[in-house]
Amino acid sequence: MPLLPTPPYEPSLPLLRNGHIATIWPTVLRRVPEVPYQRERIETADGDFLDLAWVRRGAAQVAILSHGLEGNADRSYMRGMARALAGWDVLAWSFRGCSGTPNRLLRSYHSGATDDLDAVVQHALAQGYRSMVLVGFSLGGNLTLKYLGERGAALDTRIHKAAVFSVPVDLDAGCNRLDGPGCELYRWRFLRTLRAKTMQKQQAFPGRLPRVDPAAITTLRRFDDHVTAPSHGFADAADYYARCSSKQFLSGIRIPPLLVSAAADPFLPDACYPFGEARASEHVFLEVPRFGGHVGFVDLNHGGRYWSEQRAVAFFEASP
């Protein structure tokens, strides 16, 4: 029953106890020192590509970092984690269409696209690393947990642990929260870029998407109904959420993942805190700090390393 006690995370400033401020602060104010990324583009089996950003330190172990919705390898939380994992080589990857270059195919990325994560994992393992850990943020966390649960005991034995943060393990409930009151700013920010990408897809693949004016896509559920689902073989948004929510895959996980979600996360409703699944699992470690926001966990006192980064490193370095 790896349900861990409430972690001793206390925000550096009292105002960061507010979940919205803790969420917005890193996006607006965080400045991560330059990370020496080495860029690489790999081809996928279906004729597309993925853009990777390596930090090579000559280590025998590698960490794979997966970002959140409309993020990329250059987001501050990705660069911050890459910097914190000082004893590791790091591979931060950008999902299809998220690196600044539109991908080639009608499909792009979504919360359950574990084939792309596997392509990145296999590419990294082919470099000769003896061990690997996975790190995921929000959507990337859902992707990571689904990947681990799908493979179960068949997972490559070189993958030892994972750490994921602020994960909407129930996609339907998470979408309802983001489409509801109090999340207008976040919803606008996501839809602004998602609508622009929809227009690009409509121009590149005429007639392949349902006819919808991108300006009329005013909710994330509507986006998933009209774009995500038809682009990736789902019947509709509900089918997509049902098939790709990681909560149902937690019971299949056979290595230790650390799942951290703040109680004061404005993105996550109650259904996204899998207390029952963690209690029933021999492997899934769940921590729910009182504060932290969504992919926040700001810490102004430890050399620029946020609490989430310190927590991931400690978890990976602990035995077994």
Q: Both 65 and 43 in a single domain?
A: yes
288 falls within a domain: yes
Q: Which of 186, 220, 244 corresponds to the end of one domain?
A: 244
Domain count of the chain? 2
In the sheet where 131-137 sits, what is the strand order?
Answer: 38-43, 49-55, 89-94, 61-66, 131-137, 159-165, 257-260, 285-287
92 and 210 both lie in a single domain: no
Same domain, 298 and 149: yes
Tell me: do 25 and 110 sit in the same domain: yes
Binned at pLDDT 50, 70 and 90, residue 5 comes out as low
187 residue type, one letter: R
On whether both 198 and 67 belong to a single domain, the answer is: no
Among residues 191, 216, 244, which one ends one of the domains? 244
- Residue 232 reports pLDDT greater than 90: yes
Q: Check residue 7 and give its pLDDT.
A: 65
The last residue of a domain, from among 244, 274, 289: 244
Whether 233 and 266 map to the same domain: the answer is no
pLDDT in tens, 80-110: 999 999 999 999 999 999 999 999 999 999 9
**Within a 13 Å sphere around the CA of 255, how many CA atoms are in the beta-carbon half?**
28
Q: Region 275-301: what's the mean pLDDT? A: 95
In a shared domain, residues 179 and 190: yes
* pLDDT: which is higher, 13 or 303: 13
Domain co-membership, 99 together with 225: no
pLDDT at site 33: 85
Asked if residue 1 belongs to a domain, the reply is no
pLDDT tens sequence across 106-159: 999 999 999 999 999 999 999 999 999 999 999 999 999 999 999 999 999 999
Catalytic positions? 138, 265, 294
Same domain, 69 and 92: yes
- Do the domain assignments include residue 291? yes
Q: Is 149 within a domain?
A: yes
- The answer to whether residues 125 and 273 belong to one domain is yes
* 4 within domain boundaries: no
Q: Is the pLDDT of residue 30 over 80?
A: yes
Domain with residue 148: its CATH number is 3.40.50.1820
Whether the per-residue pLDDT at 312 is higher than 50: the answer is yes
Q: What is the pLDDT of residues 195-226, one digit of tens each?
A: 999 999 999 999 898 888 889 999 999 999 99
pLDDT at 2 over 60: no
The answer to whether position 117 is within a domain reads yes
One domain, residues 110 and 142 = yes
Is residue 9 situated within a structural domain? no
Residue 1 has a pLDDT of: 45
> By residue range, what is the domain housing residue 211?
171-244
Same domain? 149 vs 210: no
Predicted confidence (pLDDT) per residue in 43-88, tens digit: 999 999 999 999 999 999 999 999 999 999 999 999 999 999 999 9
Instruction: Give domain status of residue 279, yes or no.
Output: yes
